């Protein structure tokens, strides 16, 4: 899809399943089950949407998905029945991983950073050998010093090879990381979570939300994942970000929504932010 001087392509880094109760926090199943379905183990299926943005000769990738390094036990836990990685997805649209100039990750949980590295017979290596990998400094600190609450989500195999190759760029707070590419701190899910805002060169904006609003169902303010470390922080990040997106007409991209990957947002008769127009980005 072409928007202004940006060319957008959505690449799926592999679907997986997460517990429906955890994904919807304090919202009862009697409510959220009207909006999404789950399997016999109470798991809902989600995508790992990665966004390729091309502007001139520059290629920026937001997120890298699950990757393909999961052992059988974890594949069963998360309902992963495929070997699809973002690298495979990029090649299906004619883009070689070596041509990516920058990778921006909203945070470093395995379903967002797993596709940044791959396992070879001898070692682990970066999938995007030319790319600068941009992450908040506070996120990197937490990912490299995990505690009992987040240790299962931060895997050294996804990030240590990037540091060893000298490919990591740490930033502090809001910053333009490339012409027309800005990271916006949106803490809550993790302390160092960031969303990514693109300027389309014609006065418009494209926003990759990340896990501050993982799906269109989570546009509702009370729908906040139990995975979030700071629920009130997520609430305030959502409130501010969604108001800007709706009032300023931004195109938003959801990181985990398998059916509504992108949308224009509007306000309904109650003033709440809802989906106005669904877009596929293909």
pLDDT in tens, the chain (282 residues): 999 999 999 999 999 999 999 999 999 999 999 999 999 999 999 999 999 999 999 999 999 999 999 899 999 999 998 778 999 999 999 999 999 999 999 999 999 999 999 999 989 999 999 999 999 999 999 999 999 999 999 999 999 999 999 999 999 999 999 999 999 999 999 999 999 999 998 889 999 999 999 999 999 999 999 999 999 999 999 999 999 999 999 999 999 999 999 999 999 999 999 999 999 887
Residues 112/67, Cβ–Cβ less than 8 Å: no
Stated pTM of the model: 0.96
Distance CA 4, CA 213 (A): 25
The token pair at 30 is 């009697």
Report domain extents, the chain: 2-279
**SS3 of residue 206 by DSSP:** strand
Q: What's the first-to-final CA gap in the chain, in angstroms?
A: 6
Q: Name the CATH code of domain 2-279 (choices 3.40.50.170, 3.40.50.300, 3.60.15.10, 3.40.50.620).
A: 3.60.15.10
CA angle 109, 115, 121 (to 5 degrees): 120
């Amino acid at each position: 899809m072409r928007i202004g001087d940006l060319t957008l392509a959505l690449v799926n880094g592999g679907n997986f399943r997460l517990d429906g109760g955890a994904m919807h926090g304090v919202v009862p199943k009697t409510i959220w089950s009207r909006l999404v379905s789950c399997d016999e183990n109470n798991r809902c299926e989600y995508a790992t949407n990665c966004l390729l943005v091309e502007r001139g000769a520059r290629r920026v990738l937001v997120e890298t998905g699950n990757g393909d390094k999961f052992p059988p036990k974890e594949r069963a836990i998360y309902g992963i029945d495929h070997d699809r990685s973002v690298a495979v997805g990029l090649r299906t649209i004619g883009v070689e991983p070596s041509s990516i100039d920058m990778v921006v990750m909203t945070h470093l949980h395995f379903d967002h950073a797993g596709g940044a590295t791959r396992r070879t017979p001898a070692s682990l290596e970066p999938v995007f050998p030319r790319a600068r990998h941009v992450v908040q400094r506070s996120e990197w600190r937490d990912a490299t010093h995990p505690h009992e609450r987040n240790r299962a989500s931060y895997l050294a195999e996804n990030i240590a090879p990037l540091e060893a190759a000298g490919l990591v760029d740490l930033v502090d707070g809001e910053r333009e990381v490339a012409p027309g590419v800005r990271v916006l701190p949106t803490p809550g899910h993790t302390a160092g979570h960031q969303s990514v805002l693109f300027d389309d060169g014609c006065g418009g904006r494209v926003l990759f939300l990340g896990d501050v609003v993982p799906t269109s169902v989570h546009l509702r303010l009370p729908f906040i994942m139990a995975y979030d470390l700071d629920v009130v922080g997520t609430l305030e990040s959502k409130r501010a970000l969604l108001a800007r997106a709706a009032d300023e007409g931004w195109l938003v991209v959801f990181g985990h929504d398998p059916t509504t990957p992108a949308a224009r947002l509007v306000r309904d008769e109650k003033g709440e932010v809802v989906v106005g127009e669904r877009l596929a980005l293909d």
